[in-house]
Structure 1
Amino acid sequence: MIPALILLLLAVLMFGLGLFIVFHVMRDPATSRVLDRLAEGQPQSGAKAVGVAWLDRAFLQAGLGRPSERLGLWIGLWAGVITVAGLLGGWSFFIASVLLPPLLLRVFISWRYHRRVRRMVEQLPQLLDHCVRSLKAGRTLADAVLLAIEASSDPLKTGISRVSRNVQLGVSLPDAVQDFAQLYEREEFRLFALGLRVNHRYGGNASELLENLIVLIRERDQGARQLKAMTGETRITAIVLGVLPILLLAYFSLTNPGYLPKLWNDSAGQHLLLAALAMQVMGSLALWRMVRSV
């Protein structure tokens, strides 16, 4: 039983490595470096949230509200499930009840956050276009942004409404938008906040700035779609590479339960498994480099 659990853990780790390639390969560190240089001299964000504050932040990013009010109840239910699983199912169910709930919760929050923020980025050019029309009608930049927020639709309206609340509490518009950008951690929002801060400090044509920002966001979206199409085959290969060890382990466990323990207890079998693990890691790294080089 223990060798099978060890092999299952290795397979899950390889699957996680494949998912890491899929979800993180599209990031552009060069863009982040440019934004960091542009933001030099501006107020910096605080330290990353930890503990319950981190959980609140993750739930807010995913549009699920604050969980801290019901955190004690959820922890109590989780502890009850762990206790029942340990008493009735043994060590395997105990370990599964300890590891699976937080893992599944993390995956769900991450999936919901990425889906939500992608939709928000798609709606951002419409909000900026509304701001441009209001500016050309003679309104101030702050009024134009607040009116555009009111006219926007969900999920962007729900997320960016914190800007309106902060402005009503006396926070300046650039600082309020900066807070919004720091919460959702997307370059498009950071560019929006940086543009407002630069305009607030040095002046200039706000409508022209927002029009250029609209063009930039749409070009970034088009480039991301093209890159996704170009790397589709490699990403599918990464998924297959990550899923294959788990499928093989499940197949051998169902068809021949004694095969894997015998393989693990044999010295030659251990060498073969370690060699397979090393090749799995090297293949995953090679795929990661291939996609990054596009």
Structure 2
Amino acid sequence: MVFALLLASVAMVLVAAALALWSGASAREQRQVSLQHAEQRLARSGPGNAALPELGSAPAGGARARGERPWDALLRRAALPTGWRVPLLVVGMSLLATWIATARLGTWWMVPIMLVLCTLVVWFWLGRRIANLQRRLLRQLPDFLDNLVRLAGLGNSLQMAFQTATAQVPMPLRGLLDTTLSYTRSGLDLDRALAQASQPYRLEPLNVLAVVLGVSVRIGGRADQILQRMSDFMRDLDQAQQELMATTSETRMSAWVLGLLPPICAVLMAIASPDFFQPVIHEPLGHKLLLGALALETAGAFLLYRLAKSI
């Protein structure tokens, strides 16, 4: 029976991973379509487009810097320090919580369940941090574009206007722009440097800005007008998103509470009163009830997820 519980816990992890991949599938497909459309429009703009970088493509030097760890991009996107410290801290706390629950109940079947719960908690925590950082970057970007347009309208070159406007931007956008300028000092063009610096954050407006800068530098044109329209559109989009979030916040929060409350309460009650849960652990009927609860929790979490994503 312990093996069956282990399989059920592994299945829950796989379902959570599948939900994460499925939630980003539509966004990736839409991004790919927009990339192809932008490339086709650039291909019709003239023979000088041969040197233009592809939207979202990896700049020269590769998508990941040499010596960078696979999880550094995720940590940077979540506004966390890169390196081994945060992963080791998360793994250590998860193992400590798992050991406490296992020692308290005296059974090894708590190991997979606690690992699943810790994985879900870490996933939710990272997702919240990533969403907050992306929201802050998008709210700071229109002011930066307005300042860039103003400096370019005074007669400065686009590169000089970009450098001057960067000095007036607060964090966290300031860190991304400083990284872009450091890449330009190492020999990259401004658009390629911006694409490489913004790659860990996965923000489509930054990719569009990189393409606009590349077209302006290599072909020319009124980039200030395009940037001004981008700034106005981003402000309108941010206002609409805030109104949508305010309207649907109660439903989304209810989905999270209803999805996470049963397993967290069950684990806390099992740790607080192990004798109360002994029949569930050792009796065949308790095993069936526990497997049924896991199946119902998985189905309910999936339905609540679909409900929250459909809004």
8 A contact 2:5–2:291 mirrored in 1: no
Which residue number corresponds to residue 209 of structure 1?
A: 226
Considering Cα pairs closer than 8 Å and 6+ residues apart, tell me whether 1 or 2 has the greater RCO. 1
Q: Out of 148, 163, 172, which is 1:131 matched to?
A: 148
8 A contact 1:127–1:149 mirrored in 2: yes
CA-CA distance at 1:172 after TM superposition: 0.8
* Matched ranges for 1:162-241 at <5 A: 162-241=179-258
CA RMSD in angstroms comes to: 4.5
8 A contact 2:280–2:290 mirrored in 1: no
Percent identity, aligned pairs only, is 26
Q: Equivalents in 1 of 2:170, 2:237: separation in Å?
A: 22
CA-CA distance at 1:256 after TM superposition: 1.4
CA-CA distance at 1:127 after TM superposition: 0.7
8 A contact 1:12–1:246 mirrored in 2: no
8 A contact 1:11–1:246 mirrored in 2: no
CA-CA distance at 1:39 after TM superposition: 4.5
CA-CA distance at 1:49 after TM superposition: 8.4
8 A contact 1:181–1:193 mirrored in 2: no
Which residue number corresponds to residue 53 of structure 1?
A: 69
Q: Equivalents in 1 of 2:304, 2:65: separation in Å?
A: 33
Which residue number corresponds to residue 285 of structure 1?
A: 302
Q: Equivalents in 1 of 2:263, 2:301: separation in Å?
A: 15
Q: Equivalents in 2 of 1:122, 1:193: separation in Å?
A: 18
Matching of residue 67 in structure 1 with residue 83 in structure 2: yes
Letter of the 2:70 partner, please give it. Answer: W
Structure 1 residues 195-218: Cα deviation after superposition (integer angstroms, max 9, x where no partner): 222333442211101011112212
Structure 1 residues 105-149: Cα deviation after superposition (integer angstroms, max 9, x where no partner): 776555444333321221111111100110111111111111111
8 A contact 2:78–2:129 mirrored in 1: yes
Cα–Cα, structure 1 residues 239 and 256, in superposed 2: closer, same or farther, change >3 Å?
Answer: same
Taking structure 2 as the reference length, the TM-score comes to 0.68
Structure 1 moving runs of 4+ over 6 Å: 47-51, 104-107
Secondary structure of the residue aligned to 1:170 is: coil
Q: Equivalents in 2 of 1:95, 1:275: separation in Å?
A: 19
Secondary structure of the residue aligned to 1:215 is: helix
8 A contact 1:167–1:176 mirrored in 2: yes
Letter of the 1:61 partner, please give it. Answer: R
Gaps of 5+ in 2: 41-52
Size of the aligned set, in residue pairs, is 274
Q: Out of 260, 270, 273, which is 2:280 matched to?
A: 260
Secondary structure of the residue aligned to 1:256 is: helix
Which residue number corresponds to residue 166 of structure 2?
A: 149
Which residue number corresponds to residue 47 of structure 2?
A: none
Gaps of 5+ in 1: none
Cα–Cα, structure 1 residues 31 and 134, in superposed 2: closer, same or farther, change >3 Å?
Answer: farther
